[in-house]
Amino acid sequence: MSFRFLHHQGVADGPRLGTLVTPHGEVSTPTFMPVATRGMVRGPWPDRLRPMGVEMMLANSFHLAARPGVETVQKLGGLHKIMAWDGPVLMDSGGFQAFSLAAISKVTDDGVKIAHPVHGAMVDWTPKVAFDVQAALAPDVAMLLDECPADPRDRISVALAVRRTLLWARMQRDMHEARGGASSGQAQFGIVQGGVFEDLRGECARGLVAMDFDGYAIGGVSVGEGHEAMMDGVRHSTQLLPVDKARYLMGVGTPLDLVESVARGIDMFDCVYPTRSGRFGTVLTDEGPYHLHNAKFAADPRPLVPGCDCDACLTGVPRGILRAGLKSHEFLPPSLLAHHNLHYLIHLMKRIRLAIADGSFEELRAAINFAYRRVEPPQL
C-alpha cells in the first residue's frame, strides 16, 4: 500500500488531496468509509454502494471473529466475498469494542478480557489474537489493537492507555514485520491515543512514528469530550504525524466534524452516524439536519430532499408516508433514510475534494458550519 499526494499546502495540518493505493484499488482522499461491522452495512444494499461513490469499506475483526467466525468467513469465500464488495477494506481491531463494552470488560497489559457478544463467556482479546484474526481475514488495511480510555479527560487513565497502546503497537509491529511487512499485501496503521491532553497525544504520536507504520489513525475522539475538544485532539495529533502518510480519524462522521477535520489535515473517516441517524428519522441536507418524526411532516408529499439524486429520493416516496412507516416500525423507511444519509456524506466528501482542488474549500467549510452549528432546525 502507498499514499501519494495530489495537492497539499506543505503543512501538517491543512486540507489535502491524495490517493491511497491498495491491492483492491485506489481511493481518493479525503474519503468516508461506510461501516459494515459484521460485513454488512445497515440500510443500503451492497450493489448501491459503488454507484453512490463509495471507494472503501470498514469491517470489524472482533465482531466477525465472534460470528460467523474466521473459519466460516474463509469457507464462504473470504472477507470481500461475504461483503459483496471488490474494493479496499479497512478492518478495525476491536479496541473500541472494549471501550463501548467497558462494563463487561477488563483491560490489562496482556490485552482485553471481554464478554463474547454471542455466548457471553469471557474471552481474551489480545494483541496477538487481534493480529492473527486480521491476518486471516485479509483486509487491505489492518488497525492495531489499542486502548481507548473511557474518559478522554481523565489524565491518569489516558496516560495508562497511551502506555498500553505503545506497548501493544510494538508487539503488533514486530508480528507484522515477521509476517513480511508490506509484502504480505496488508498495510498496518498505528492509532494515536491521548485524550484531550496535548502532551500525551504527542508522546503517543512520536512513539508510533518511530515504529514507521504505513498510516496513522487518531483514536479516542468523539467519546463525549465535545466538538471543540475533539478538534483540539485532532490538531495536537496531526501536527506530529508524517505529511506523506495517510491520516485516519476513527468514528467521526457528522458533516461539521468531517469538514473541520479535513481543515486540520485528515484524509480518512468512518462512522455509523449517517446510517444510524437515518434509521432513527434524521435526514441530512445542505441546510442542516431535520427530523422526520416531527409532526409537521405527517402530510408532506415531498421526497426526503427535493432535487437529491440518491436512490431513496428518486423513489418519490413522500415524507408523510415515510414518517408513518417509521412510527409503524416498517423496514423500508429506515433503509431509505440510511441510504440517503450515506449518499449525502459520500457526495459531501466529493465536494470537499473538488473544493480543495479549485481553492473554494473555505467557502464550503463556512456553509457547512452555518448549516450544522445552527440552534434552530432548518425550515424544510
Q: Is 270 one of the annotated active-site residues of the chain? A: yes
Comparing C-alpha atoms, which of 92, 86, 83 is closest to residue 24?
86
Coil/strand/helix, residue 215: strand
Backbone dihedral region for residue 67 (phi beyond 0: left; psi -120 to 50: alpha; all else: beta):
beta
Comparing C-alpha atoms, which of 240, 232, 282 is closest to residue 261?
232
Distance CA 319, CA 199 (A): 49
Coil/strand/helix, residue 257: helix
Q: Bridge partners of 35?
A: 58
Q: Is 146 one of the annotated active-site residues of the chain? A: no
Q: Pick the catalytic residue: 92, 140, 232, 267? A: 92
Distance CA 250, CA 271 (A): 7
- Please, which residues have CB within 8 angstroms of residue 251's CB and are 6 or more apart in sequence? 96, 219, 221, 222, 270, 271
ω before 44 within 30° of 0 (cis)?
Answer: no
Coil/strand/helix, residue 303: coil
Contact 232, 220 (CB under 8 A): no
Distance CA 339, CA 34 (A): 11
Q: Pick the catalytic residue: 146, 214, 270, 300? A: 270
Contact 184, 131 (CB under 8 A): no
- Please, which residues have CB within 8 angstroms of residue 109's CB and are 6 or more apart in sequence? 164, 167
Output the nine-digit C-alpha cell for 331: 423496514
Contact 125, 62 (CB under 8 A): yes
Determine phi and psi for 344, rounding to 5 degrees: -60, -45
Distance CA 272, CA 93 (A): 16
Output the nine-digit C-alpha cell for 78: 473470504
Comparing C-alpha atoms, which of 60, 52, 55 is closest to residue 33?
55
* Residues designated catalytic: 92, 270
